[in-house]
Amino acid sequence: MAPKKPATAAGPASSSATSTSTSSTRQLDKIALNIVQHYQKTTPQRTKLLDTFMAFLVIVGGIQFAYCVLAGNYPFNAFLSGFSATVGQFVLTASLRIQTTEANKSEFPSVSPERSFV
Amino acid sequence: MAAGKGASSTPTELLVSLGRNQSTKTLLKVIILALIAAAAVASRLFSVIRFESIIHEFDPWFNFRATKYLVANGFYQFWDWFDDRTWHPLGRVTGGTLYPGLMVTSGVIYHLLRFLTVPVDIRNICVLLAPAFSGLTAYAAYLLTNEMTTSSSAGLLAAAFMGITPGYISRSVAGSYDNEAIAIFLLVFTFFLWIKALKLGSVLWGALCALFYGYMVASWGGYAFITCLVPLHAFVLICMGRFSMRLYVAYTTWYALGTLASMQIPFVGFLPVRTSEHMPALGIFGFLQLVAFLEYVRSAIPSRQFQTFLYVGLGGIFGVGLLGLVGLTAGGYIAPWSGRFYSLWDTGYAKIHIPIIASVSEHQPTAWPAFFFDLNMLIWLFPAGVYMCFQRLEDEHVFIIVYALFGSYFAGVMVRLMLTLTPVVCVAAAIAASQLLDAYLQYKSPEIVESKEEESADGTPKKASKQGSLRSTSQPVVGIYNVLSKAFIAGAMTLFLLIFVQHCTWVTSNAYSSPSVVLASRMPDGSQHIIDDYREAYQWLRQNTKEDAKIMSWWDYGYQIGGMADRPTLVDNNTWNNTHIATVGKAMSSREEVAYPIMRQHEVDYVLVVFGGLLGYSGDDINKFLWMVRIAEGIWPDEVKERDFFTPRGEYKVDAEASETMKNSLMYKMSYHNYASLFPPGQAQDRVRGARLPDQSPILNSLEEAYTSENWIIRIYKVKDLDNVGRDHAAAASFERGHKKKKAIKKRGPRVLRVE
C-alpha cells in the first residue's frame, strides 16, 4: 500500500514545487492533507480504535503536563506517576500498533495482527 | 579429539556422529557450563580455605551488618531503618541511603534455605554469595556471546573467561560481600536481555530487560552505566541509519518500565527525571518518538514533500527540546552533572575539588600493567574481537563496539571501573578465540575445500604446466590447510589458554584472596603466620567498653568498627557528609589543645588509630594522614595548612626533622606514643617509612593509652575526662609527672606545649 500512495500524491507535489517560497505554508497544508488522506485510506478500522486510545492518552498527558506548568508541581509524586503512566501506556500501545501493522510484518514475523484483540 | 584421531575409524565415526547429534550437543553444553560455574566458584574460595569464612575489607562489613538487621527485623523495618550508631550526633537514614538489592537477595536466600529446613548461618550466605553469583555471571556471558555469533564455542569460551578472569574475581572472591558481587551478573544479564529485545522487537523481552534493570538499580550505583550505554547504542544505531521498529519497541518498553522500576528505590527516587546523568536516556526516548513518527510520515507522503517536512519539523522540535533542557538546567530543575562524573572526564578534577573522592585508592587512574594483570591474554584478543564485530556489524555488534569504546575509556580513568570493562573484554576475546579455533581445529572439512579448489584450479590452463612438475611442489608444504599449520595454531592457542588459566589462578591466589582484615605473613621457616590485630582490637572494644562508647577513627575503619566491634562511630565509609569527615580530619591533624574540645563536643570516648610502623604495614594512618589534612583544609583553610606538615625542604618526614606542626598533631602523637620504648636507645625505627625516630616519644596529655594490639597495628586511646580541679590537661599531666621526676620534665613540659 505504501507504493500506491506516493503515485497519487505525486501530481500536486510536482506542481507546487514550481511555486515560490511564499507558498510554503500552502505546501505544509498540502503535506498535512496528504498524511491525513494516507492515514484514512490505509488504516484498518480496528487499528483506528487503538489510535483513538492513543490520542486519548496524549490528551490526558497533555492536560497533566499543562497543569504542572501552570499550577506548579506540588504533589510531584502524583504528577510523576500520572504522567509516566500515560506516557508508558502510550508507548506500549504504540509498540503493539507497530507490531500488528501489516507493513511491519517482515520485522515481526511471529506477531499476529489479532494480538491486540484476543 | 586427540584420542579420536589416534583410534581406528569406527570409534572416530561413532564419536563424530555422536557429536553431530543435537541432544548430545545440548548435554555437552550443559555439562561444560556446569563445570565452568564450578570452576568459577572454586577459584574464589582461596581465602576461605586459607583463612576462614570471614567478611573482607571495609564496605562488606556494612553490608553484612545491614543484612543481619534485615534478617532480624524484617523488610519494612529495614526499609525505614534509621541508624543512630553511625555518624554520631547526626545518625544516618540507612534504609533510604543504600542500595538494598544485595541485602534483600541474601535475605531471600536465607529464608528460602530456612524454609527448606537447611540450617545455615547468614554469615556463610554473605560470604559465599559472590562466588555463587559469579557462576551465574558466566552463564549470562554465555548467553550474551551467543547473541553475537553463531559459533557455539564462542559462548562457552566467554563463559570460561568470565568465570576466571581476575578483573572480575578481584571484586567477587568469597567474603567480598559487596554490591558488585551481584551487580556484574545483573549488568551482563541486562545487556543480554536488551540485545534479545532489540533483535526480536519484543515487548516481553523489553519488559524483562526493564525488570532486571530495576534489580540492577536496586543493587549498585553503577547502574548509570546501563542508563547511559543503552541510549548511546540506540543513538548510534539511529545515526547509522538503522532505525527500525524493533528498536522503537525495545527501547521504549525498556525506558518506560525501567524508569518506573528504578524510581521505586528510595535512594534513587526522583533522580531519573532530575539529574543530567539520566537525561541521555530521556532524550533518546523523546528522539525515538520523533523518528518513529517521521518514519510513518515518510511512508505516507512523497519524498520531496517529506524533505520540507523534515527540515521544518525536526529543526523546530530539536531546537525547542534543547532550549527546554538548557532552561530547566539553568532554572535548577535538573541537577547538572555531579562531581563524580566530572572526575570521569577530567582525572585531575577530583584531586582539586573533591579530595574525599580522590583519597580512595580505587578511584585513581589505572596503570598500564593493571590491564595485563587483570585480563592477561584477553587484552590482546579484545581488539581482534572488536574487529570481528566490525566485520559483521549487525545491530548487536554495534552494541559490543560501543560498549568496548566506553568501557575502555572508563577503565582507563578509574581502577575500579575495570570491572565494567571485563565483561565486554571476555565476550570480544571469546569471539576472536573461537574464530581462530573454529578455523584451525576442523580436521576434515578444509580438506574437501582444498581439493575442490585444486580441482577448480586444475580446470584452468595451469594444469598443463603443472603436469610436468613434481607432485610435491604442487602441494605447498606450508599453508593454511596444512595439518602442520593447523596443529601449530591450535597448539599455540591451547598453550595461551593454559597460561591464561595459570595466570588467573596465580593472581587470584596471590593478589585478590586476602581478607585485609586478617593479614598473613611467612615465618622464617616458611610456615604461615596470621596477623590478627584488627579483630583482636575490635574484640577488645566490644568487651571492654560501654555499649554506647563513641569511637573516633578515620572514616576507612567506620564500617569495621560498626560491624565487628558494634560501637557507634563518628564517620564511616559512606562519606555522605564531607564536613563531618573534615571535623575528624581537623581533630587528627591539630594540636591537642584544639583537638580536645572537638572530641568533647562530639562525645568521643575512644580514639582509634592504625599504625604500621612496627610491622611495616604500609596502609596505616600516617600514610593516609595527608588526606586527612587536605580534607580538613578544604573546610578550614585558615586553621589547617598542608604546607605546615612538610619540612622546609618539602619532604614528608616523621623522624626528628619532622615539622613542628607534624610533631604536635594528634595523629603523630597517637601513632608514636611510647613507641621508642620498644627499642634500645637510639634505635627506634619506623619500618614503613624507613625513618629513625627520636628517643623521646611524643607526650600525650588529654588522651591516655587504652589498648595496643599485639603487633601495634591498632592503637586505642581513651579521651580523658575534664580535670577534677579545673586545670587544663597539660598542667595536670605535667604535675602528675612532676611527682615522679621533678626537674627534667617540668622544664620540658611548658616548652613542648606552650610555644605558640
Same domain, B213 and B352: yes
Task: Identify whether B125 is part of a domain.
Answer: yes
Residue B703 lies inside a defined structural domain of this protein: yes
Burial class (CB in 10 A: 0-12, 13-18, 19+), B258: buried
Q: Which three cell numbers stand for residue A118?
A: 484476543
- What is the distance in angstroms between the Cα of A46 and the nearest Cα belonging to chain B? 18
Of A14, A28, A92, the CB nearest to B312: A28
Nearest CA-CA partner of B569 in B65, B92, B86:
B86
Closest chain B C-alpha to A6 CA, distance in angstroms: 5
> Based on the domain organization, do B595 and B664 belong to the same domain?
yes
Same domain, B729 and B644: no
Interacting residues of A80 by C-beta distance below 8 A, sequence separation 6+: B263, B270, B273
Residues B592 and B677 in one domain: yes
Chain B's closest residue to A98, CA to CA, is: B245
| B299 and chain A in contact, CB less than 8 A | yes
B693 and B734 fall within a common domain = no
> What is the C-alpha separation between B578 and B582, in angstroms, rounded?
6
Residue B707 main-chain phi, psi, to 5 deg: -160, 140
Residue-wise pLDDT tens digits, B434-445: 988 888 887 654
Residue of B nearest to A107 (CA): B246
Residue B458: pLDDT band (50, 70, 90) is: very low
Quick one: B641 and B558 in the same domain?
yes
Arithmetic mean of pLDDT over chain B = 83
Model confidence at B570: pLDDT above 50: yes
For residue B629, being part of any structural domain is answered with: yes
Q: How would residue B475 be classed by pLDDT, with cut points 50, 70 and 90?
A: low
Radius of gyration of chain B (CA): 32
Q: Do B305 and A34 touch (CB under 8 A)?
A: yes
Q: How many domains does chain A have?
A: 1
Unique residue bearing C-alpha cell 547509522: B240
Backbone φ and ψ for B569, nearest 5 degrees, come out as: -125, 165
Residues B390 and B400 in one domain: yes
Q: Do B308 and A31 touch (CB under 8 A)?
A: yes
The predicted structure's pLDDT at residue A9: 37
How far apart CA B606 and CA B609 sit, in angstroms, is: 10
pLDDT tens per residue across span A28-69? 788 788 888 888 888 888 888 889 999 999 999 999 989 988
For B739, the domain range is 725-756
Q: Are strands B685-686 and B691-692 parallel, antiparallel or unpaired?
A: antiparallel
How many C-beta atoms lie closer than 10 Å to residue B448's C-beta? 9
Q: What percent of chain B has pLDDT over 70?
A: 86
Task: Provide Rg for chain A, Cα atoms.
Answer: 19
Q: What pLDDT was estimated at residue B476?
A: 52
Domains held by chain B: number: 4
Identify whether residues B105 and B211 lie together within a single domain: yes
Range of the domain at A84: 5-116
Q: What integer pLDDT is reported at residue B485 of this predicted model? A: 81
CB distance B246–A108 less than 8 Å? yes
B682 pLDDT more than 50:
yes
> Is the domain of B136 the same as that of B208?
yes
Pairing state between β B604-610 and B528-531: unpaired
Residue given cell 562457552 in the structure block? B156
Please check whether residues B428 and B565 belong to one and the same domain.
no
User: Which of B246, B257, B309 is the closest to A31 by Cβ?
Assistant: B309
pLDDT tier at B460 (50, 70, 90 boundaries)? very low
Grid cell listed for B89? 550526633
The reported pLDDT for the residue numbered B454 is: 45
Chain B residues whose CB is inside 8 A of the A30 CB are: 305
Decide if B722 contacts B732 (C-beta within 8 A). no
How far, rounded to the nearest angstrom, does the alpha carbon of residue B169 sit from its chain's CA centroid? 10
Statement to judge: residues B364 and B427 lie in one domain: yes
- Beta-carbon separation of A104 and B245 below 8 A: yes
The three three-digit cell numbers of residue B449, written as one number: 575445500
What are A70's three cell numbers?
501552570
**B140 is a domain residue:** yes
| Residues belonging to chain A with any Cβ–Cβ distance to chain B shorter than 8 Å | 2, 5-6, 9-10, 13-14, 17, 24, 27-28, 30-31, 34-35, 38-39, 76, 80, 84, 87-88, 91-92, 94-96, 98-99, 103-104, 107-108, 110
Q: How far is CA A117 from CA A49, A112, B619, in A?
A: 11, 10, 67
- Amino acid residing at B685: Q
Tell me whether residues B301 and A9 touch, CB distance under 8 A. Answer: yes
A19 band by pLDDT with thresholds 50, 70 and 90: very low
B256-315 pLDDT, tens digit per residue, is: 999 999 999 988 888 888 888 888 898 899 889 888 888 888 887 777 777 777 777 777
> pTM to 2 decimals?
0.84
Size of interface A-B (CB pairs under 8 A): 86
Q: Does residue B681 contact residue B718 with C-beta atoms inside 8 Å?
A: no
Nearest chain A CA: its distance from B344 CA (Å): 31
B264 touches chain A (CB under 8 A): no
Check residue B19 and give its pLDDT.
64
B23: helix, strand or coil: helix
Is the sign of the CA dihedral B220, B221, B222, B227 positive or negative? positive
What is the arithmetic mean of pLDDT over B325-340? 72
Give the pLDDT confidence score for residue B347 in this predicted structure: 65
Same-domain check for residues B704 and B624: yes
Which of left, alpha, beta for B146 (phi over 0: left; psi -120 to 50: alpha)?
Answer: alpha
Residue of A nearest to B312 (CA): A28
